[in-house]
Structure 1
Amino acid sequence: MRNELLSPSEMAEADRLAIAQGPLDGYGLMRRAGEAVAAVLLARYPAAARVHVLCGPGNNGGDGYVVASLLRKSGVDVALWRSGELRAGSDAALAAADCPLEPRPLSAFAAEPGSLVIDALYGAGLSKALSGDAARAVQVVTDLGLPVVAVDLPSGVSGESGAILGSAFRAVVTVTFARKKPGHLLLPGREMSGEIVLADIGIGDDIIARVAPRSFENAPAPWLPVFPVPAVDAHKYKRGHVSVFSGGPAATGAARLSALAAARSGAGAVTVLSPANAMQVNAAHLTSIMLRKVDAVADLGAFLADRRPSSFVLGPGFGIGEKARDFAVALLGAGHAQDTGVEGLVLDADGITSFRDEPETLFQAARKSGAPALVMTPHEGEFGRLFPEIAGDKALSKLGKARAAAARANAVIVYKGADTVIAAPDGRAAINGNGAPWLATAGSGDVLAGIIAGLLAQGMPAFEAACAAVWIHAEAGSRFGPGLIAEDLPLAMVPVLHALVENGMAAR
């Protein structure tokens, strides 16, 4: 599995462990890195007339000296630019000593139109704003519109958070090593990195396992082994029963979108729980999806005893207020109050905002022993309303904020956006990388909530269900493309689900 993400400090630990284990020393790893970058440049730009290699004072710069040497040997016209002093005896100093080119100071950097740039200034380890000669170099390259191949990460982009520190290069290609970094996937770093090439430089999977990263790029490999595939003797209730709370007569569509998505995701039965005054509206639009009147917690209790649903969606179009809070707390209490079979609650939209003034009521209910799994799907505004202190902490990346919120709420947090982060209370977190702008449409989040609930109902663990749902939702949107509206998404999921089930069955 190569979808682990390494923070800059974890990458440094992986380097240390690999060097200690051998057979490569630090300079050996550096040569491998430089070879990978040079190979990418020569393959992508075989006719490059002139290449400017910008080297910083650390290991990233050392990679650059190796690249410059290899390009020169290949007959490329190379100009070498140096920033800062190399530490005597360091691997970077060894690389510089072996480089046949005489570096010029970065303060004098100039380039020609049509040339290319290798950014080997700072990479993923930068922790302060790019300034001085480096910032000027960014401006020169930007003004000329030169293509940039970045070593590890475009200089100026935080490997931890993806934030731009002062200014940054915008790369066409970024060559990184061993594993991607969070900054490659979190915005705006994702946009600045261009195409990401992951190069093997000799840091094996055993080394990554010893580092034990807790962050991942969301992809099918980790959750496909628990993706639900119906048994040959399955019946509809064995495949899980999802229930979705509906709003009033003028706000029923969101719940129906969630319900349809839950059904498409494989749930064997889906029921819309409707207030009495919306029963007729819902009945006019539902066919295979069932309908039940639920106006109060007592009605919900009767439904739980009668039909034993597996998971719930609360929030889409529901309305903000006490009723939403009462239903949520009742469901979170159901698991330890009686054997109801409730596996999870997906709290979205109005369900989240209903707790903005009393979040601890929700968090305490979720922390009680035996409570069903709680999955919350906030966008940025909803996240800020429920977790204002965490949202306002400028020291935390989006990944860090999602992790902190998951721990505080004892819930799986799906922090939505173009770089959606999924975090579990135990510290695991995934960053989604296959999002598409076509998903920025009304009702898209309602569909996502339904997919999560559908997978929960079929027995997927909450974190894996949330990761799978986010990936499926994004993949369906990407494949559909322009013209997508939320109503298209449940059907657009079908080919994605087909491929997942076939791959899952083959793996088993």
Structure 2
Amino acid sequence: MGIELLSPAQMAEADRLAITRGPFDGPALMQNAGSAVAREILSRYPQAQTVHVLAGPGNNGGDGFVAARLLAEAGVDVRVHCEGHPRPGSDAEGALAEMRLPLLGFDAFAPQASDVIVDALFGAGLVREIGAPHAPVIERANASGAPIVAVDLPSGLSGETGLVLGIAIRADLTVTFFRLKPGHLLYPGRDLCGETILVDIGIPADVLADIGSRTFRSVPELWRTHIPWPDSGSHKYARGHVGVFSGGPSATGAARLAAISAARAGAGAVTVLSPRQAVQVNAMHLTSVMLKRTDTPEEAVMFAADRKMTSALIGPGFGVGERCTEFVLALARLAAGRPFGLVLDADAITSFENAPHRLFEALAAIGSETGRGCAVLTPHEGEFRRLFPDLADAAGLSKLERARRAAERSHAVVVLKGPDTVIAAADGRAAINTNATPFLATAGSGDVLAGIVAGLLAQGMPAFEAAAAGVWLHAEAGARFGPGLIAEDLPGLLPAVLAGLRDSQGSSS
């Protein structure tokens, strides 16, 4: 399965380029798509009493006509429901002519739970809200209890945003073609698609070079080659030194969670930088992680320079306010002058709620020197709103686009967390994570994620790839544990996940 994600417009361009280059013309691609749908229905639902095909007037409907013909030829009782007619001379009109089944109106659509419904109404290209006559049909389909197979994308779902346009089909299975669209992975679209399978219908992969997609699935194929494995000449400081900033004596646990996570992610050295009043609390719980009393931004910068720190994480449990902003701005100045990764989470984000421009200006300076420092922001939706209220409130704007615009504005990689975490870079690249588990919804989980990212940055991994890899590793660890997971479990699961990555990389090379 290719890692590129295509918008509906880009998918239309892929179709056009494929038809121009061959070997398949438009009718042949439609035949391949409809065949894939029919094949899945025959293999998954052999006991279906009747298959109802809901067909729209466009190419999605054409795919449905092909599927209906092939199912009927296989002996299935097929009923095709359509309002309107395909455009004269279109591939869909040709598919309708070959189908030779009667067309029934939507008023004749009365499915039983023992039937199967094929949704071939609109697909991924829909841009307007669904109204009559299609909305009542979608309501009937969803209420029927019959399994629904969506062609390309459930009708009523935006392939661009994953948002519902008025009303949408709730599919049990979605059969899509060539490459996934963002709407397959962004919620609520991911939930409405049910199981999604991607089918090769003959579009050559080389069309992607002309399309130039900048959106990806965040899977190991995207970032695996950037994972910094140690070699025989490595020593602890060659593997990077992470500084994690602790809060006061009653809020030290988050920093320690992040610190051990950075170490488990491969950093050679990790130091918790603690205010004086929390040193004893931290000392009672730290072994392999070092501890340094640090009360002022100046002390932090001096320690970072002296001990060759290559990344820093501030925010988890640190405390909100001007003291936090002073530390962040001092670390940003440090990052602008050397190879250095700065991860800002939790309190470090919230502290700039009333003056986000101060943060963005500081982060812009980091990226002004090519090959120097970098910054990663890891907000959940609430924290995102504090820095980017206009983007959070923009109606119809996808999570993908919100993260992309935030990254451009902040001059940082933005990790917008959630079940469909989006990782976006200021240069326009973005990825949607696909392996999340609901068991990660537990206190401290975000601190672990921030620590993993800081650990990868410390080893010299590029910021976008480090953020994407961190999100995937974090989710994979959570999925391996399952029910009962607490944040303290996650760091200890990372070695096995990383070992699996290394082994699979070796076997594929």
Normalised by the size of structure 1, how large is the TM-score?
A: 0.98
Query: Which range moved further: 380-389 or 122-131?
Result: 122-131
Residue-pair matches, total: 505
1:126 aligns with 2:123: no
Q: Distance in 1 between matches of 2:384 and 2:359?
A: 14
Matched-pair contact (CA < 8 Å) for 2:37–2:151: yes
Q: Distance in 1 between matches of 2:114 and 2:362?
A: 62
Matched-pair contact (CA < 8 Å) for 1:214–1:427: yes
| Counterpart residue type for residue 350 of structure 2 | T
Secondary structure at 1:312 match in 2: strand
Q: Distance in 2 between matches of 1:241 and 1:260?
A: 12
| Counterpart residue type for residue 352 of structure 1 | I
Structure 1: stretches of 5+ with no match in the other structure = none
Q: Distance in 2 between matches of 1:359 and 1:112?
A: 55
Matched-pair contact (CA < 8 Å) for 1:442–1:485: yes
Q: Distance in 1 between matches of 2:35 and 2:321?
A: 60
Q: What does residue range 39-438 of structure 1 map to in structure 2 within 5 Å?
A: 39-337=39-337, 339=338, 342-368=339-365, 369-370=368-369, 372-438=373-439
Write out per-residue CA displacement over residues 247-280 of structure 1, whole angstroms, 9 at most, x where no aligned residue: 0000000000000100111111000000000000
Matched-pair contact (CA < 8 Å) for 1:162–1:185: yes
Q: Distance in 2 between matches of 1:425 and 1:117?
A: 43
Write out per-residue CA displacement over residues 39-83 of structure 1, whole angstroms, 9 at most, x where no aligned residue: 111111122221001100100000000000000000111011013
Matched-pair contact (CA < 8 Å) for 1:157–1:168: yes
Write out per-residue CA displacement over residues 268-298 of structure 1, whole angstroms, 9 at most, x where no aligned residue: 1000000000000000000000000111012
Q: Corresponding residue for 1:18?
A: 18
Q: Corresponding residue for 1:503?
A: 504
| Counterpart residue type for residue 374 of structure 1 | A
Matched-pair contact (CA < 8 Å) for 2:117–2:146: yes
1:29 aligns with 2:29: yes
Q: Distance in 2 between matches of 1:398 and 1:306?
A: 41
Q: Distance in 2 between matches of 1:350 and 1:385?
A: 11
Matched-pair contact (CA < 8 Å) for 1:60–1:121: yes
Alpha carbons of structure 1 residues 83 and 494: separation in structure 2 relative to 1, 3 Å:
farther
1:444 aligns with 2:441: no
Q: Distance in 2 between matches of 1:336 and 1:383?
A: 24
Across the aligned residues of Structure 1 and Structure 2, the Cα RMSD in angstroms comes to 1.2
Matched-pair contact (CA < 8 Å) for 2:245–2:313: yes
Matched-pair contact (CA < 8 Å) for 2:163–2:396: no
Q: Distance in 1 between matches of 2:505 and 2:113?
A: 50
Matched-pair contact (CA < 8 Å) for 1:107–1:133: no
Deviation of the 1:507 alpha carbon? 4.4
Structure 1 stretches of 4+ moved >4 Å: none
Deviation of the 1:164 alpha carbon? 1.2
Q: Distance in 1 between matches of 2:302 and 2:42?
A: 69
- The percent of aligned pairs where both chains have the same amino acid is 57
Deviation of the 1:172 alpha carbon? 1.0
| Counterpart residue type for residue 451 of structure 1 | I
Structure 2: stretches of 5+ with no match in the other structure = none
Matched-pair contact (CA < 8 Å) for 2:423–2:464: yes
Q: Distance in 2 between matches of 1:305 and 1:181?
A: 45
Matched-pair contact (CA < 8 Å) for 1:259–1:270: yes
Matched-pair contact (CA < 8 Å) for 1:366–1:372: no
Deviation of the 1:201 alpha carbon? 0.7
Secondary structure at 2:16 match in 1: helix
Deviation of the 1:204 alpha carbon? 1.3
Q: Distance in 2 between matches of 1:267 and 1:102?
A: 66
Write out per-residue CA displacement over residues 364-401 of structure 1, whole angstroms, 9 at most, x where no aligned residue: 11112236211000000100110111111113100000
Secondary structure at 2:40 match in 1: helix
Matched-pair contact (CA < 8 Å) for 1:241–1:309: yes
Q: Corresponding residue for 2:494?
A: 493
| Counterpart residue type for residue 446 of structure 1 | D
Deviation of the 1:85 alpha carbon? 2.5
Write out per-residue CA displacement over residues 385-432 of structure 1, whole angstroms, 9 at most, x where no aligned residue: 101111111131000000000000010000000110000000000001
| Counterpart residue type for residue 472 of structure 1 | L
Deviation of the 1:343 alpha carbon? 1.6
Q: Distance in 1 between matches of 2:507 and 2:15?
A: 36
Q: Distance in 2 between matches of 1:142 and 1:172?
A: 10
Secondary structure at 2:52 match in 1: strand
Q: Distance in 2 between matches of 1:139 and 1:210?
A: 40
Q: Distance in 2 between matches of 1:227 and 1:203?
A: 32
Q: Distance in 2 between matches of 1:122 and 1:353?
A: 42
Write out per-residue CA displacement over residues 214-273 of structure 1, whole angstroms, 9 at most, x where no aligned residue: 111110002001111101111111111111000000000000000010011111100000
Q: Distance in 2 between matches of 1:308 and 1:350?
A: 25
| Counterpart residue type for residue 375 of structure 2 | L
